[in-house]
Chain A
Amino acid sequence: MKESSMIGKNVPRLDALEKVTGKAKYSVDLNLPGMLHAKVLRSPFPHARIIHIDTTEAEKATGVKAVITGRDVSEEKIGFIRDRYILARDRVRFLGEAVAAVAADKVEAAEEALELIKVEYEELPGVFDAEEAMKPNPPVVIHPDLYTYALAPNPTPLYRFEPDMPNVYIHRQVLQGDPERAFRDADMVIENRFFMPSAQHAAIEPHNAIAQPEPDGGLTIWISTHQLYLFKLNLCRLLGLPSSKLRVVSLYIGGAFGGKSGLAVPAIAGLLASKSRRPVKFVLNRDEVFLDGNNREAMTLCVKDGIRKDGTLLARQMRLILDAGGYSGTTALVAKNAAFGAIGTYNVPNFKLDSYAVATNNPPTGPHRGFGSTEVVWAIESQMNMIAEKLSMDPMEIRRKNLLREGVVDSLGMVTHSIGAGECLDKISDWLGTVPATPQNEGAWRKGRGIALCNKYTIGGTDSNVFVKVHPDSTLEVRHSANEIGQGCDTVLAQMAANEFATSIDKVKIVSCDTAITPYEEATVSSRITFHAGNALLLACKDAKNQILQIASKKLEAPSDSLEIKDGVVYCQGDKAIRIVDLFSPKGFVPGGGEIMGRGVFSGPRENEDPDTGQGKRPVTYYAHGATAVEVLVNIETGEIKITRIGSCFDMGQPINPKLCEGQMEGGMGMGIGGALFEEIVFDKGLTRNASFCDYKIPSSIDFPTKENVISLIAPVLHSEGPYGAKGLGEGSLLAVAPAIAEAIYNATGVRIRDLPITKEKILKGLNLLRSSS
């Protein structure tokens, strides 16, 4: 790389103009000629047998064009453990499970037809508490055939069933060293129990899909998802279509955060479109998003640490219990991957983890920004603060002392590389130290500050494929299938392409997310796109440049290694040059090659892990690291909490576009504040009690500190395999917020909160306990 004019530059977002003028299209904005609207009927019981469904009346209703039930769906099921039919067949396992679907010419007609469907249920006992459900003799076994279910293909299917615990989907074990011995040798053993509740992603665009029948008997489906090709793979299976007959398209995605990962919405739209031979649009209402929108599971975490007097961590033992709900979704995989987050920051020579994903009759769960890390970081960072307090150590010092360092083998057997945790900690504590202090303890308000660290792994063994087509006008057409979910991947990839061709950003055109024309991308998940798609893009650029150089070398009669491409022109040493347009014939054809099209394939590292201990050489691709600092004011009379300052510093490797990185950090802090203080899906015997933005509150503009009191800093530690040394960032920015807030609240009030969210009421209860005990 001679020049790096585009990397690290705040190039304006390519999609911003469309988005500020209302022209940007999301799948929910499409209206096709003859389009029908789908609605589903949902189970009123959390656990019941379906005796009979009668759809006769609904089929006859005005405007109704198709009705389907479990009888119409394929034998193929969904989930990491294949445990769920698209529409329930003989059993419903959560309140809100879809049992029938209607397509009608108007939304209202579909809604009215649902009321005409008669379903006879036989209610079954339910279990709603994961710890009760995981007992050897639970009140009810939710999936009696669990052990016969098929499993999704996964690079490392690292899990096991527990024959003595019939409601446990998986039990994941990790072991390194001899924790028992280390606990005996430790000067102090400290054990705590933490809880993180179920949460909704709350993307403002609800889940939706539109399926259109094609003349060849196939379908085109537009979907709001962040898993384009994964959806295509699964929808082919669920709809009985060969790959050539299913085209999946995504437009802009109105937020995802992991939530747009459920297959039921597009599959139901597809089935109804096939049956009615009409385009069908299916949009979830907001309450349905809360019921079946792949919520984060509730997790209970027990953390036991053995520590030397000087603060050295000798051993850590963790037990995680995940309430996966009536179907396992991706939560079986969360149970596995949570271990990555648990070991990514600190050097713990003796480590043991047991993680259980448990079936209950609560709604099913799925991926949520962090994928297990939000939960374990909450517990571990809180625990680190408690250890520091017991040892009368500075919480920063105990962290620095135990940080993993470059070259150190971590608790899963991977050699640590590119770890900026220490730099992040330093930078963010410097910031907090230098900002003017908020007036101390005015009236009933008490001030406190807290800092926490975090890490976010990116999964291993995934693949990206990017094409770069060079047009005669020298525009680079980047064809990729990473979903623009707001994170800015289109802009980041365009910057990289412009940089490789030493051209300007307006010479890059993005064509994305259409399986008919854009190549394979595993999924826009796990903060992996900048690294994986970025690497694939660099290879595609290299390929396209080679093609250009070969043709140019003939035309210029110069060796290709003496040529250089810049601003649409191939230059030769001396003053010979040829424009890219002149490589094409007047008809726009490249003699001999047809067109200039570079292809790049990047496969992330794949290493198998030991199924009994979780040990492997490369269980994850990389870790991003970060730290968040918070200052709060807490009212000791009402328990009110004001976040007066918040800042984060992250190591995402080389930032490609620092402003986009800031955007991710600020958004993560916002979501983190919500998770720390407000957000919890409340269940009552399987019934979701707060399925609306009125009852499930996410932060609004007034819940965030003012601008000089917010900061996003960058402490890049380059990754040797990343494009320009870049890693990923998206998820990590959320993780350290809750433990930093909890620590700040503790420092303000002496109240230590272990169960999120930290409500006013919990603070007041804690204060009352402190008063009564002193």
Chain B
Amino acid sequence: MKKLIQLKINGETAEVAVEPRTTLLHVLREDLGLTGTKEGCGIGDCGACTVLLDGKPVASCLTLAVEVRDREVLTIEGLSKDGELHPLQRAFIDHFAVQCGFCTPGMILSAKALLDRNPHPVEEEVRQALSGNLCRCTGYVKIVEAVLAAAEYMQSQ
């Protein structure tokens, strides 16, 4: 029933045994201990389980692990390099864009996908890009601020 598959997660190859019904979210959280990716609704409405698949934000709760074979997955744990925070992570801290933190990993990854595609987003583009990540704590104000600030910072580098 279970099949061994290889996934490329945060730049490293992981080998996991999965059933066809195993979701990418399950592999990340239960098999690989990457619990930074959260589950909030199970049906792709909330965005807490967002990861980047080949650079694009997807709902890992609706992604079959068998369909991720040979593709690149980036989770929140893979965002900082050599202990150096990504400018988005820095900006989320500096701008108080974090409250309960449960939406934060997905939110940051959606923001990263945006900045990768569009390094100078205007506010409306940021709001559109984050519209699949529900946050109940912040009213999104400081999150949007943080993303714009990170874009500006990355520009200046």
Per the bound structure, the CA–CA distance linking A16 and B105 in Å amounts to 11
Q: Is the CB of B98 within 8 A of A31?
A: no
Q: Which residues of B contact A659 (CB under 8 A)?
A: 96
Q: Is the CB of B134 within 8 A of A662?
A: no
Q: Which residues of A contact B42 (CB under 8 A)?
A: 285-286
Q: Is B130 an interface residue (CB 8 A)?
A: yes
Residue of B nearest to A17 (CB): B93
Per the bound structure, the CA–CA distance linking A10 and B128 in Å amounts to 29
Mask, A244-260, CB within 8 Å of B = 1, is 00000000111111000
Q: Is the CB of B101 within 8 A of A254?
A: yes
Residue of A nearest to B126 (CB): A701
Q: Is the CB of B141 within 8 A of A204?
A: no
Within A1-42, the residues touching B (CB, 8 Å) are 10, 12-13, 15-26, 28-29, 31
Q: Is the CB of B127 within 8 A of A702?
A: yes
Mask, B117-157, CB within 8 Å of A = 1, is 00000011011101111111111111111000000000000
Residue of B nearest to A31 (CB): B30
Residue of A nearest to B92 (CB): A20
Q: Is B108 an interface residue (CB 8 A)?
A: yes
Within B33-86, the residues touching A (CB, 8 Å) are 33-43, 45-46, 48, 75-77, 79-80, 85
Q: Which residues of A contact B7 (CB under 8 A)?
A: none
Q: Is A626 an interface residue (CB 8 A)?
A: no
Per the bound structure, the CA–CA distance linking A68 and B143 in Å amounts to 44
| With contact pairs A15-B98, A255-B100, A662-B96 given, residues A669 and B139 touching in the complex (Cβ less than 8 Å) | yes
Q: Which residues of A contact B88 (CB under 8 A)?
A: 20
Query: How many whole Å from B146's CB to the nearest CB in chain A?
Result: 10
Q: Is the CB of A252 within 8 A of B137?
A: no
Q: Which residues of A contact B143 (CB under 8 A)?
A: 701
- Which one of B85, B98, B100, B126 contacts A204 once the chains associate, using CB atoms below 8 Å? B100
Q: Is the CB of B100 within 8 A of A22?
A: no
Q: Is A667 an interface residue (CB 8 A)?
A: yes
Chain A contact-residue range equals: 35 or more
Q: Is A671 an interface residue (CB 8 A)?
A: yes
Mask, A465-503, CB within 8 Å of B = 1, is 000000000000000000001111000000000000000
Mask, A174-207, CB within 8 Å of B = 1, is 0000000000000000000000000001111110
Q: Is A541 an interface residue (CB 8 A)?
A: no
Q: Is B24 an interface residue (CB 8 A)?
A: no
| With contact pairs A204-B46, A253-B100 given, residues A707 and B123 touching in the complex (Cβ less than 8 Å) | yes
Residue of A nearest to B88 (CB): A20
Q: Is B94 an interface residue (CB 8 A)?
A: yes
- Which one of A12, A22, A670 contacts B35 once the chains associate, using CB atoms below 8 Å? A22
- Which one of A20, A486, A670 contacts B139 once the chains associate, using CB atoms below 8 Å? A670
Q: Is the CB of A710 within 8 A of B141?
A: yes
Q: Is the interface of B mostly helix, strand, loop or mixed?
A: loop
Q: Which residues of B contact A667 (CB under 8 A)?
A: 99, 136-139
Interface centre among B38, B77, B94 (most CB of A within 10 A): B38
Per the bound structure, the CA–CA distance linking A702 and B127 in Å amounts to 6
- Which one of A29, A486, A698, A699 contacts B99 once the chains associate, using CB atoms below 8 Å? A486
Q: Is A147 an interface residue (CB 8 A)?
A: no
Per the bound structure, the CA–CA distance linking A286 and B38 in Å amounts to 13
Q: Is A243 an interface residue (CB 8 A)?
A: no
Q: Which residues of B contact A25 (CB under 8 A)?
A: 35
Q: Is A700 an interface residue (CB 8 A)?
A: yes
Q: Which residues of A contact B46 (CB under 8 A)?
A: 204, 286, 693
Per the bound structure, the CA–CA distance linking A598 and B140 in Å amounts to 39
Q: Is A694 an interface residue (CB 8 A)?
A: yes
Within A686-717, the residues touching B (CB, 8 Å) are 692-694, 698-702, 704, 706-707, 710
Q: Is the CB of A701 within 8 A of B85?
A: no
Q: Is A722 an interface residue (CB 8 A)?
A: no
Q: Is A99 an interface residue (CB 8 A)?
A: no
Query: How many whole Å from B136's CB to the nearest CB in chain A?
Result: 5
Q: Which residues of A contact B41 (CB under 8 A)?
A: 286, 692-693
Q: Which residues of A contact B40 (CB under 8 A)?
A: 204-206, 286
| With contact pairs A698-B136, A704-B139 given, residues A692 and B101 touching in the complex (Cβ less than 8 Å) | no
Per the bound structure, the CA–CA distance linking A756 and B65 in Å amounts to 43
Within A192-243, the residues touching B (CB, 8 Å) are 201-206
Interface centre among B33, B133, B140, B143 (most CB of A within 10 A): B140
Q: Is the CB of A486 within 8 A of B141?
A: no
Q: Is A663 an interface residue (CB 8 A)?
A: yes
Q: Which residues of A contact B136 (CB under 8 A)?
A: 201-204, 255, 257, 667, 670-671, 698
Per the bound structure, the CA–CA distance linking A488 and B103 in Å amounts to 16
Mask, B16-43, CB within 8 Å of A = 1, is 0000000000000110011111111111
Residue of A nearest to B123 (CB): A706
Per the bound structure, the CA–CA distance linking A662 and B42 in Å amounts to 31
Query: How many whole Å from B57's CB to the nearest CB in chain A?
Result: 14
Q: Is A305 an interface residue (CB 8 A)?
A: no
Per the bound structure, the CA–CA distance linking A5 and B129 in Å amounts to 39
Residue of A nearest to B96 (CB): A659
Q: Is the CB of A487 within 8 A of B99?
A: yes
Q: Is A735 an interface residue (CB 8 A)?
A: no
Per the bound structure, the CA–CA distance linking A73 and B115 in Å amounts to 53
Q: Is the CB of A15 within 8 A of B123?
A: no
Mask, A640-664, CB within 8 Å of B = 1, is 0000000000000000000110110
| With contact pairs A15-B101, A16-B92, A706-B124 given, residues A698 and B134 touching in the complex (Cβ less than 8 Å) | yes
| With contact pairs A693-B46, A701-B144, A706-B124 given, residues A205 and B100 touching in the complex (Cβ less than 8 Å) | yes
- Which one of A26, A31, A486, A692 contacts B45 once the chains associate, using CB atoms below 8 Å? A692
- Which one of A204, A205, A670 contacts B140 once the chains associate, using CB atoms below 8 Å? A670
Query: How many whole Å from A734's CB to the nearest CB in chain B?
Result: 10
| With contact pairs A286-B41, A663-B96, A701-B140 given, residues A204 and B103 touching in the complex (Cβ less than 8 Å) | yes
Q: Is A292 an interface residue (CB 8 A)?
A: no
Per the bound structure, the CA–CA distance linking A308 and B92 in Å amounts to 52
Within B87-112, the residues touching A (CB, 8 Å) are 88-89, 92-94, 96, 98-105, 108
Query: How many whole Å from B49's CB to the nearest CB in chain A?
Result: 10
Query: How many whole Å from A695's CB to the nearest CB in chain B?
Result: 9
Query: How many whole Å from B110's CB to the nearest CB in chain A?
Result: 10
Per the bound structure, the CA–CA distance linking A742 and B23 in Å amounts to 44
Residues of B within 8 A of A (CB): 29-30, 33-43, 45-46, 48, 75-77, 79-80, 85, 88-89, 92-94, 96, 98-105, 108, 123-124, 126-128, 130-145
21 residue pairs of the A-B complex, CB under 8 angstroms, read: A10-B96, A16-B93, A19-B101, A21-B80, A28-B38, A203-B136, A204-B48, A204-B100, A205-B102, A206-B39, A254-B102, A486-B101, A662-B142, A667-B136, A669-B139, A671-B139, A692-B41, A692-B43, A698-B136, A704-B139, A706-B123
Closest 9 CB pairs of A and B: A22-B36, A486-B100, A254-B102, A670-B139, A19-B101, A22-B76, A486-B99, A666-B139, A693-B45
- Supplied contacts A204-B102, A486-B100, 10 more A-B pairs, CB within 8 Å: A17-B93, A19-B104, A20-B93, A29-B29, A254-B38, A255-B136, A286-B46, A667-B139, A670-B140, A702-B131
